[in-house]
Each structure stands twice: as C-alpha cells, then as structure tokens.
Amino acid sequence: MLKLPVYLDNNATTPCDPRVVETMLPFFTETFGNASSRNHAFGWAAEAAVDLAREQVAALIGADPKEIIFTSGATEADNLALKGVFEMYIDKGNHIITTEIEHKAILDTCKHLEKQGAEITYLKVNSEGLPDLKELEAAITPKTIMVAIMYANNEIGVINPIKEISAIAKRHGVLMMSDITQAAGKIPVDVDRDGIDLAAFSAHKLYGPKGIGALYVRRKSPRVKVTAQLDGGGHERGMRSGTLNVPGIVGFGKACEISLGEMEEEGKRLAVLRDKLENALLQLEESAVNGFRAQRLPHVSNISFRYIEGEALLMGFNKNIAVSSGSACTSASPEPSYVLTSLGLGDDLAHSSIRFGLGRFTTEEEIDYAIKAVTETVNKLREISPLWEMFKEGADMSSIEWSRP
Amino acid sequence: MDYAAKVMDHYNNPRNAGKLDIASLNVGTGLIHVSEYIEVVRIQIEINPAKNIITDARFKTFGCGSAIAAASLTTEWLKGKTPEDAFKINNMDIVEALSLPPSKIHCTILVEDAVKAAINDYRHKNGLEALQEEALESNYELEGM
C-alpha cells in the first residue's frame, strides 16, 4: 500500500533508521552520564558507549578511532578542517584549492578565510561536474597547504576521482581534505586507499540523528593538526571542546555500522530503482541528466526538463512527492543552482531541474508513482508553456521576438 | 512555500490556456520575458473592432505557479473589457486577487506588461497609435526589461 507523501529528498536528510533510534533511547534516560565524568559509573558507561560508537564511525571509513573528532555536523567539521588547518599551517602557506561546486559549508568558509588573508583557488568543473586534474596540479604553489574537494556532489551525485586528486596533493606535500557527507555510508570510502587526510561528514545523511557529525583527522603520515575553533574543556583531543552528545554519538555509531553492513546490497538495489526512474523520465522529450552518469552515487538523479520551470513542476506534485529543485523563483534569491550553472547549464535549464534522492526506505511502488506524477506534470506544464509551443513549431529559440512593454 | 488556494486553483485548472491566430488583424499578442527569473508570459487578445470589446483572451506561461495563476486570472478579467480599460489593469490588482507574497510581485508585472503589449500589438496592426501608460501608473520598477 503506497503511503503518501513519498520522500525522495534523501540528499537533504534521511529519516533515522528505527534500529538507530532504539539504540539511542537509553542514553537519554538511563545512561545519561557525561562521558568526561571519570570518577563514577554514569560517566564510565557513557564513555564506553562513545568509545564503541567511535570505533563504528571509524570503521565506516577505514580510520583509527583516535582519528575521529565528533562535531555538531558536517558544517562544523568543514569549518574546523578549513579554519583549523589554515590557522595551524599559516607558517607554511595560505593557499587552499577547492572547486566551484563544493557545498556552501566549504565555499562560505573559504570566503571567510579570504578575509583573513587566505588565497583560495576555486577550480572550475567540466560539463559533467568534474574538475580538471591538470588544472589542479598547475594551481599548486609553494604556499598551498590544502586541497579541499568533496567526495561526491550533493546536487548531482557525481563522484570525484579522490584517489587521483589526493595523489597529486601528496606529490606536492599538500593536505587532502574531503567533504564526504554524501558518499559516507553510500559507497565505500577508505581514508587510506583514497589518501584523505581530513574528512567531514554527518549522521543525518546516513539514517542517523541530526546534530552530530565528525571530522576525520589523520594521525600518521602525515600527522595532521587543526587549531580548535571552540575553546573549553579540551574534549576530542583538544580539537573540539564541548560535552559530548552521547545519544547522538551512539546513534551515529549505530547508523555507520548498519550502513557499512548493508552498503553493497543497498547500493545495488538503489541503482536499479534510480535507473528505472531516470530511464522512464528520459522518455520525455528534451529531458536530460545533469552530471556524469557513469560515475555517480547510486541513489541520486538530477534531471532538467527543458521549457518548464522547476518550481512550477514541483507545485504539480509536491503535496505527494518530496524532491528538490534547482530553481528558486523569488526576488530574494533569483539565482538558480550554482552547481548546475557551473556545469555550463543555461539559467533556463538550471531552473528546470529536479533532484531525486532515493533512500533506504524507497520502494519500487514509490518510484512508479513518482514516474507517473512527474510525467503528467511535465506534460501538463508544457501544454501551457509558450517556449514549448515555439520549440515544437520549430522556432529559432535563440532569436525570439519579444514585445516591448 | 505556502501557496494560496487561489494560486493552486489556477495552476490545477488554468483558464484560457492556449493560442489565438497571431496573424489575424483582430488579434494582439504580447510576449514578455524577464531574464533574471527566466519567466515568459504570452497574452493574446481578440478584439471585435465594431464593438471595441475584447471577445477572447488566451495565455501561455513558462514560469512558477504564481506566474501561471497571474496570467490565467488576468485572461478572465480581459474578456468583455474595452482595450482602453484592459490597459489600466495594474499588477497590484493581481497581487491582491491572488494574495501573492511580495517575492512573487515580479510575476504580475510580467503579466501586466504582456497585456499592454498585446493591446498595442493590436493597435499597431490596425494603424492606431500605441496607448501610453499614465505617469501615475508607472510606479513599479520594470525588472529585467
């Protein structure tokens, strides 16, 4: 039985897995101790739970538990990585290389650092969403301290060649930082294999609770240090003060354990559903996938439907289907998605895009429903789109004769 | 975003969506776009020259739901009006009728402009002088024109 509304926005956030919630519950009421309370049983129990969770989180990305710094989420972890490395390595240099299509937590932090004297290179990406590795290498200077490039993009799901990127960074003695938020728990991430020195991610993207995340900080070859951004009790090896969010950490650990165990099978299942959705929607004329199809997260599809506007499209079914659009038709923020425009999409196509993010609880019945609803709405809106009419009549779309008001 | 029920009504059941014969002397066409918002509105009117009355109106919109609703509602208003009265339709009337939030005002400016353009297209075709906006009515900044 299909239950509405259907949730297909799992890149924004995921529901907590019930197994995660069940594991967390005792840590609100019974095992509520402060993990830093070293001299009584309540503290010891909390600490033991945090230790286990730290192992579970570390195992997901092939790290040592000591290399996991718990934070409030990926945004804080991104901030800590960028600002912390910039401050710690300022004697070595002030140059950081990133890409134009990073998450705002990276881009806005870079903008902040520029005001503090940092030099930031924002690499362009090609039409498939990938940076040019030659350009990356050419951008490295003696002042470069870090390359910060996401593992997989949140809007288009394209996976970066992190191993190749980190090899370039390593060759020049530059740290490799990656926001792995969208990739962790979805595809295999291994900090040693991938050559990552710092990695930011969060629990709520992998069926854990909101408000908890982590920064992986490499301890050996090289030993990486970051300057703390919060002063206080010196928790998390001095890198992140603040009483540990024990229930959140426990949930994060459980979520990582489940994701690691189910990743392979789940990835295959989601790829089948995603491909079904995508292939069906590509049957619509003038629809196209955004981003490199062959190298994507298995659960993401970003599609543009030319000659209709994304927000209008959503309006046709957003009571029953939750997705996200690359369009924002308000005078406050008239900008279409910067990720899509970086791919070289015109504003019109960027405005016509929809991101589908499938997840652990997505069923085939839901996908069938989405295919039907989206197809119907696209056809209906094209019926009333003057651009679609002109296109179908073979008009030259680049030289439309506009009226003068 | 909370869309007013009126917007949803026009979105679900657009009134007068479609096309009139662009070549007909009795038909005026206004095709307006705002590049910043990537919106396009086309308003067409058919005029009975003997009675000087708008007998039919059609629209097509590429844009958000509010832009669709604004154009749809306006075509309802156009029918039965003289071109001179239709020329006085103000975008803020549409804003009020659909209870649109301030962020959607730009959609209605587009529709008002398309109406005016359609009327003047008809007048141009028939050798009449273009109607001009009165000074009082031009309070609203035309965005992206």
In a domain, B51, yes or no: yes
Contact state of B30 with A403 under an 8 Å Cβ cutoff: yes
In a domain, A404, yes or no: no
Q: Angle at Cα B46 formed by Cα B42 and Cα B49, nearest 5°?
A: 145
Q: Are residues A134 and A32 in the same domain?
A: yes
Q: Are residues A133 and A188 in the same domain?
A: yes
Nearest to B65 among A311, A403, A405 (CB): A311
In a domain, B91, yes or no: yes
Q: How far apart are the first and last CA of chain A?
A: 53
Owning domain of residue B20: 5-117
Whether the per-residue pLDDT at B60 is higher than 80: the answer is: yes
In a domain, A400, yes or no: no
CA of A202: how far to CAs of A71, A85, A199, A363, in Å?
Answer: 9, 20, 10, 24
Q: Decide if A99 contacts A125 (C-beta within 8 A).
A: yes
* Long-range contacts of A363-372, Cβ-Cβ distance < 8 Å, separation of 24 or more: A364/A273, A364/A276, A365/A2, A366/A2, A366/A6, A366/A8, A367/A273, A367/A276, A367/A277, A369/A2, A369/A6, A369/A320, A369/A321, A370/A6, A370/A8, A370/A277, A370/A317, A370/A321, A371/A276, A371/A277, A371/A280, A371/A281
Contact state of A312 with B67 under an 8 Å Cβ cutoff: yes
Mark which of A225, A258, A291 sits at the end of a domain: A258
Q: Are residues A325 and A232 in the same domain?
A: no
Give the residue from chain A lying closest to B114, CA to CA: A405
What ipTM does the predicted assembly reach?
Answer: 0.89
Q: Write phi, then psi, for A14 (nearest 5 degrees).
A: -120, 155
Neighbours of A115 (CB within 10 A): 7
Calpha distance A41→A205 (Å, rounded): 33
B138 or A130, higher pLDDT? A130
Q: Are residues A36 and A61 in the same domain?
A: yes
Q: How many domains is chain B built from? A: 1
Closest to A327 in 3D by CA, of A318, A314, A342, A317: A314
Contact list, A389 vs chain B (CB under 8 Å):
19, 60
Mark which of A235, A258, A281 sits at the end of a domain: A258
Contact state of A403 with B29 under an 8 Å Cβ cutoff: yes
- The DSSP annotation for A296-343 comes to B-TTEEEEEETTS-HHHHHHHHTTTEE-EES---SSS--PPPHHHHHT
Mark which of A203, A229, A258 sits at the end of a domain: A258
Write down the pLDDT at residue B36.
61
Distance from CA of A400 to the nearest CA of B (A): 9
A383 touches B: beta carbon within 8 Å: yes
A330 touches B: beta carbon within 8 Å: yes
In a domain, B98, yes or no: yes
Q: Are residues A323 and A340 in the same domain?
A: yes
Q: How many domains is chain A built from? A: 2
Contact state of A315 with B11 under an 8 Å Cβ cutoff: yes
What residues 299-318 of chain A have any CB closer than 8 A to a CB of chain B? Answer: 307-309, 311-312, 315-316
Give the residue from chain A lying closest to B43, CA to CA: A386
In a domain, A401, yes or no: no
Q: What is the pTM of this model?
A: 0.91
Give me the tens of pLDDT residue by residue for chain A, a chain 405 residues long: 899 999 999 999 999 999 999 999 999 999 999 999 999 999 999 999 999 999 999 999 999 999 999 999 999 999 999 999 999 999 999 999 999 999 999 999 999 999 999 999 999 999 999 999 999 999 999 999 999 999 999 999 999 999 999 999 999 999 999 999 999 999 999 999 999 999 999 999 999 999 999 999 999 999 999 999 999 999 999 999 999 999 999 999 999 999 999 999 999 999 999 999 999 999 999 999 999 999 999 999 999 999 998 889 999 998 999 999 876 555 444 578 899 999 999 888 888 899 999 999 999 999 999 999 999 999 999 999 999 999 999 988 878 888 875
Write down the pLDDT at residue B144.
40
Contact list, B114 vs chain A (CB under 8 Å):
403
Q: Looking at residue A112, which CATH number applies to its domain?
A: 3.40.640.10
Contact list, A331 vs chain B (CB under 8 Å):
102-103, 105-106, 143
Side chain identity, residue A206: L
Instruction: Name which of A382, A403, A404 to mutate to probe chain B: the one with the most chain B Cβ atoms within 10 A of its Cβ.
Output: A403
- Tokens representing residue B72 in the block: 């749809």
In a domain, B73, yes or no: yes
Most distant CA pair in chain B: distance in Å?
A: 46
In a domain, B16, yes or no: yes
Q: Are residues A235 and A334 in the same domain?
A: no
Q: Are residues A225 and A274 in the same domain?
A: no
Q: Are residues A267 and A331 in the same domain?
A: yes
Contact list, B62 vs chain A (CB under 8 Å):
307-309, 385-388
- Tokens representing residue B131 in the block: 């109607």
Write down the pLDDT at residue A87.
98
Write down the pLDDT at residue A328.
59
Q: Looking at residue B75, which CATH number applies to its domain?
A: 3.90.1010.10
Contact state of B11 with A383 under an 8 Å Cβ cutoff: no
Active site residue A329: yes
In a domain, A403, yes or no: no
Q: Are residues A343 and A390 in the same domain?
A: yes
Distance from CA of B85 to the nearest CA of A (A): 17
Q: Decide if B125 contacts B15 (C-beta within 8 A).
A: no
In a domain, B43, yes or no: yes
Q: Are residues A178 and A278 in the same domain?
A: no
Q: Decide if A180 contacts A201 (C-beta within 8 A).
A: yes
Q: Are residues A222 and A87 in the same domain?
A: yes
pLDDT tier for residue B139 given thresholds of 50, 70 and 90: very low
Owning domain of residue A284: 6-12+263-395
Calpha distance B58→B45 (Å, rounded): 7
Q: Are residues A201 and A114 in the same domain?
A: yes
